[in-house]
Structure formats: structure tokens, C-alpha cells
Amino acid sequence: MKEFNLIDHFFKTKSGQRKDVIIGIGDDAAVTHIPQGQALVTTTDTLLSGVHFLPNASPHAIAQKAVAVNLSDLAAMGAEPAWISLSLSTPEVDEDWLTEFSRGLQDQIEYYSIQLIGGDTVQGPLAITITAQGFVPYDQAITRSGAKPGDLVYVTGTLGDAGLGLAIAKNEIEQATKESLTQINHDFLLKRLHYPTPRLLTGTQLRRIANACIDLSDGLISDIQHILNMSSCGATLNLENLPISPALANSVDQETAIKYALSAGDDYELLFTVSEEQKGNLETTLASANIQVTCIGYLNGNVGNLELKLKEQPYQADIKGYQHF
Amino acid sequence: MKEFNLIDHFFKTKSGQRKDVIIGIGDDAAVTHIPQGQALVTTTDTLLSGVHFLPNASPHAIAQKAVAVNLSDLAAMGAEPAWISLSLSTPEVDEDWLTEFSRGLQDQIEYYSIQLIGGDTVQGPLAITITAQGFVPYDQAITRSGAKPGDLVYVTGTLGDAGLGLAIAKNEIEQATKESLTQINHDFLLKRLHYPTPRLLTGTQLRRIANACIDLSDGLISDIQHILNMSSCGATLNLENLPISPALANSVDQETAIKYALSAGDDYELLFTVSEEQKGNLETTLASANIQVTCIGYLNGNVGNLELKLKEQPYQADIKGYQHF
């Protein structure tokens, strides 16, 4: 099967139908329209087999995650997603695999009302690169550099689930965890690993409320540093406030749960900072959204310094975020 | 070296400075402004080591080509380039390699006045995915589907040079070619392979003149089929009119030169169609551009049929374009 037919067969018919797409898949490039008053937001992320997903992961989950991690970056800017482009490197034309992969892609396309506008396929090691494009009203993008000392630090959802999920998937959990892991928790944790949820609605709601925002892909400790560096702040985190899911809390001890919550990647929750004055506004805005947000600390002027406390005591954590190299 | 530092060190400072980039490298996503009256044009292409370039190719050339093949897609739409995003998969942090690669990238960025707005780096087999974004005035994008029977078929530049260049680089040329290959021709042909030139100026000049356009990446015979299929046309090509460079003509016999011109990929010239009425307009417009364009045939109503003629006689060619799988 030639590349042209491959894209046609597996992706073109399932690419979505947005009115702002003038020319979609099948030409040299896609042509799209940006609504007036909106800025374009663009992000690219690559998922590589054996690095970002396990080689035996389901193609449906791989496609879903490849889209989700990119949409999560748009969410962190306060943007609304519109279009994605796919570059798929695959060792062979495995029709079953491609069918499942394209189904995963299509599910995301339908769920988020986005459109696949371009594709490239190459024969090589399994890797998926997606570029996602979206909009945000002019001057309302939420950056990593707008945080200020005194800001409260919030996160969405719960942290560390995907970390334990990965340990489960790699069969690297301890005997005690195996014994305390119920089927429901097992399934929940794996779902959190394989099917992360980009916090798009929260992202758009944080426009004009949050001073800074980032998505948690490499682990809280690693990712918050980007905000501290780019905003010239320090932070104190109160670890007893970390949002830990019942599934994680019931499967490992508190120290391990904190370790996962602080250092494991793949959560794709948002971390954002809000001034004291905007706190009420935040609570009102999010009340209708049915998404958990938790205040886990505050920023200060100790530039680049990250202080961890557990019940007012300094917490020594020998943990790092995900290292890419 | 961590990913963040790697991008910072090798790419951020060399990313260009466009006024329409509000937020560039270093945040969750880039934020850019589209000029009023312009549509967004987006394309993605991946170059994989051993498939799209030889493993021992110079990192400077790899970077240049990775940008050029994407800009060539924008050129084929009549678009003007603005921003690129890079996903780099590399097996290790080789500072010399990365320095040369980033220099190649920067040269393109400066030459085309574009900006690198986002990056992702992963540890894996050497592969470069670039997403290029640009503009075209509303309703002026040149598609593959606008060609009409009777249109004249043109190509820019010369064809087949990169094909022989690849054979030289892979040491797959015959003894007779080796003997007739001068150093100047050798260098020219390798330059055509490693440093393709996206025909951006020609692309923008073809707006409102060409009915259809495509860039030649997989070989003329393969790529023209996309126009024939999408425009429901057939074509007759007069092979004696194929633009063959002196370097190619002086290195191989006529039959081999035609074979390279028809089937070898990597030329990154534009193939476009123009109605008889627009022919004068085309010639006037391109007169100032100092870019060779050659009429190589015409379209007809024999849908999907490609007829090859050499001096009025049917030409049997057992040749195919590049197969991706």
C-alpha cells in the first residue's frame, strides 16, 4: 500500500469536518481560517515506542495519548483546539494496528471537535509526532512567565496515578502493592496512564484568572521549575495537600504516593498560579466545571527555590522529574 | 543535558525574531498572529535517517533539507512561510552534531525570515519532523485539484539531478558515469540532493495564474498522478522538453537522464498547470524572477491517463516514483 493510499484509507475519511478547514488532507499543505480576534497556538510532541509508551500498548491508546498530550499543551495556554497534523513512523503496514490506531485518533477528533488536516507516513521505528493548533483570544494566552510571589499554586485532578499505572504496566510494583491493588484501582490507574485527559475546559476558564500555567508531563517537581525559572519566583509546597486519588492512596504507603505525585510524569494535569485577589473568582468560575482543583502551596521571592513541607516540617525528597536524555 | 537545556542551548537563541510571534520557544505552546485577510497554511514532513537521508549525511545538510522540504510544500500552495516547529529524535546528545544541525537550521531561518516557535526532543533513532506554517491570501491557495483539460504543464528548474546525486552518494553509479563525471558536476549534483531549494517566490507568483500545483518530492511520474486524480484529468508529456541540467546530461545517456527526471524523488521543484489564456501572464510574471520554468506537456480529458512521448513517439518507461512502503 502506498503512502497516499495509506493516509487516504486510514485517516482521510475519519479526519473530521470543521468549517474553518478550507483544504484538508490530500494536498501539499492544509489551508485553514483563524477566527478574527484570535491568536494561533501551536505545539508539537513526539511519542516514541519504548520511551513514551510501552511497545505492547494498544494502538487505540497510543493514538488517544498522542493527541491528548498535545491538547494538554494547548490547555496549558488557555487555548481551544482546532486542528492536528500527524506524522506516523511505522515499521510496517499492519492493517489491524492501523485500524485500531485510526479509531483512537477518530475518537479524539470527534470528542474534541478537531480535524486532522495533514499527515505524513514513513517506514521506520514506531513513533507518532502530532502538531496541534488552536486559538486563544489576543492577549489572553496563559504563559509560564506570568507568576508572581504570593500567588497560590493549584493543580487540577489527582497526581501520581499515571506513575503507579506505569509501574503496574511494567510489572515493577512491590509485592505489598500487588496484594493491596484491587481490580478497580488497577484499571483506574492504567486508564490514567493510557488515556490522559487534557484539561481543556479548565484551561479556557483560567484565562484572565491564572497568572501562569503549565501542564504536568514530566512530573510536578520538574515542571514547576519552568514556572519558577521563567517567572523568577520560588515556591513552597505543602505535600499534605497534594491531591492523591483513592486508588493511589489505597495501593501504596503515603511516602510512595507523595513520590509518585511529585516525580512521576504523564499526569497531564494543569499546574497554575492565581493571585489572592483572584481566588474567589477562580472558585466561582470552576464551581460549574466539575473539575477538582487543589491549592498545594504558594509562590515566594526565593528565585528558583522549591521548598517541600509535610505538615509544616521540611520534607527531604530524593526525587527527580522525568529526564529526557 | 536535559531536554529543556538542550532546546535552550542549541535552538532557542537561534530561533529568529519575527514580530508576529507573541510567545516562542519555552512555553507549553507558541502563540502567533496571522495577518488579516490571510489563511493559515500548515504542512508536516518527517525525514528519517537511512530513508530520507544517508546516515552519514552532514547535520548541516540534514537540517537544511528538513526545513526545505516543508517550505517546498508551502511553495506548492502559493504560501509565504512564517514559522516552523521541530521534533528531533536523536540517539544521543552529540554536541558537535547538534551544533552543526542547529547551524543548518539557523541558516534557513535567517534566509527565509522564518522563526522556530516550538521544539520537542526525544531520545531515539535519528529522525526530524518539521511542521511549517505560513500564509496565503484568502481564496488564493493553489491546490492539486484545480487543473483543467487543456492546461499546459510546467515545471521549475531542472529534474533528475537529485536522483543522480543520490546514486553518487550511495556509490551506485556505473563505471561509464564515473568516468564522465567532472568534479564540478559531481558537486552540483550532490548539492541538488542535499540542499534542495524550495521555490517559494515562484509559488507566490503563481497565485491567480496556475490552476494547480504540486511539489516534486517522489518523482514526476508519481507526483503528477495526484494532480490528475484530484483534478480528473489525463496528461501528455513530451519528454524531449524535460529540463535536464548540463550536469545530468553530461554524466549519463539520454535514456538514463529521462529516467532520473521522471522517477527520481527529491527534486523539490514545482509542477504546475496553467490555462492557455494565462500563458502570457505567466511569462510576464516570471520574466523578472530569474527562475527557469519549462512547459513539458498538457492536460487532457483522459482521466488518470499519463501518456509519455519522445519526439512524437510513444515512450515505454518501466519506472515508478518513490514508494513509501
pLDDT digits (tens, 9 = 90+) for B294-317: 999 999 999 989 999 999 999 987
CA distance A34 to chain B (A): 7
B292-to-A234, B11, B218, B263 alpha-carbon distances in Å:
60, 35, 21, 20
Average pLDDT, chain A: 93
Q: Is the pLDDT of residue A9 over 50?
A: yes
Q: Which residue of A has its CA nearest to B23?
A: A143
Domain span(s) for CATH 3.30.1330.10 in chain B: 3-137
CA angle at A139 for the pair A213 and A271, rounded to the nearest 5°: 5
Query: How much of chain A is helix, strand and coil, in % rounded to 5?
Result: 35, 25, 35
Which distant-in-sequence residues (6+ apart) come within 8 Å of A179 by Cβ? none
pLDDT digits (tens, 9 = 90+) for A235-287: 999 999 999 999 999 999 999 999 999 999 899 999 999 999 999 999 999 88
Instruction: Work out the average pLDDT over A150-164.
Output: 97
DSSP code string of B192-216: HHHS----HHHHHHTTTTEEEEEE-
Average pLDDT for B271-288: 94
Within the 113-132 window of chain B, which residues sit less than 8 Å (CB to CB) from chain A? Answer: 117-125, 127, 129, 131-132
**Could you report the per-residue pLDDT of A10-40, keeping only the tens digit for each?**
887 777 789 999 999 999 999 999 999 999 9
Residue with cell 496549558: A76
Q: Contact A70/B28 with Cβ under 8 angstroms?
A: no
Element spanning A81, H or E? strand A80-90
Q: What's the confidence (pLDDT) of residue B1? A: 46
The CATH superfamily assigned to B3-137 is PurM-like, N-terminal domain (3.30.1330.10)
Instruction: Name which CATH class applies to B152-314.
Output: alpha beta
Phi, psi of B237 (to 5 degrees): -110, 135
pLDDT of residue B228: 97
Say yes or no: A93 contacts chain B, CB-CB below 8 A. yes
C-alpha–C-alpha distance, residues A210 and A282, integer Å: 8
pTM recorded for the entire structure = 0.94
Chain B residue with Cα closest to A90: B325
Q: Given a cut of 90, is residue B45 above it in pLDDT?
A: yes
Q: Where does chain A have alpha helices with state H?
A: 3-10, 59-76, 95-112, 161-169, 175-180, 183-194, 200-205, 220-231, 246-249, 254-263, 279-287
Check A2 against B324: CB less than 8 A apart: yes
State the pLDDT at residue A258. 96
CA A309/CA B91 separation, integer angstroms: 38
Sequence letter at residue A154 = Y
Q: Where in chain B is the domain with CATH 3.90.650.10?
A: 152-314
Q: What is the per-residue pLDDT for A289? A: 76
Interface size, chain A vs chain B, as Cβ–Cβ contacts under 8 Å: 212
* pLDDT per position as a tens digit, A195-243: 999 999 999 999 999 999 999 999 999 999 999 999 999 999 999 999 9
